[in-house]
Amino acid sequence: MKRGGYFRAGPPSGFPDLTGFKDNNGKIFFIEVKKRTGRARDDQKQFHYMLTNHNIIHGIARSPEDALKIIDEELVGYGFK
């Protein structure tokens, strides 16, 4: 069978920078890392909406403290407006 064309492997567009899970309860989390003034792209916002609809821990971290807050407090959508 002949195939041709462009092939793209890896995570989808808008996928957050960091992914992990909490050992104590197995919940998965996603962290988007941004500078202090960085903004989420449209594809990142779409991914945020999907994660929010499924009540999945995720957010924008502008510091290590933000990342820990999102994870420890199991926040959904932290930093998105």
Measured over the CA atoms of residue 64, residue 69, residue 72 and residue 76, the dihedral's sign is: negative
- Give me the torsion for CA of 53, 73, 29, 40, rounded to 10°: 70
Q: Is the pTM of this model over 0.85?
A: yes
pLDDT in tens, 21-32: 999 999 999 999
pLDDT(3) > 80: no
pLDDT attached to residue 45: 98
Does a structural domain hold residue 12?
no
Residues whose CB falls within 8 Å of the CB of residue 40, separated by 6 or more in sequence, listed in order: 32, 34, 48, 60, 80
- Give the chain's domain count: 1
Predicted confidence at residue 1, as pLDDT, reads 55
Whether 5 is covered by a domain: the verdict is: no
Please check whether residue 6 lies inside any domain of the structure. Answer: no
Rounded Cα distance, 78 and 67, in Å: 10
Q: Which ranges of 1-81 would DSSP assign to H, the alpha helix? A: 42-53, 64-72
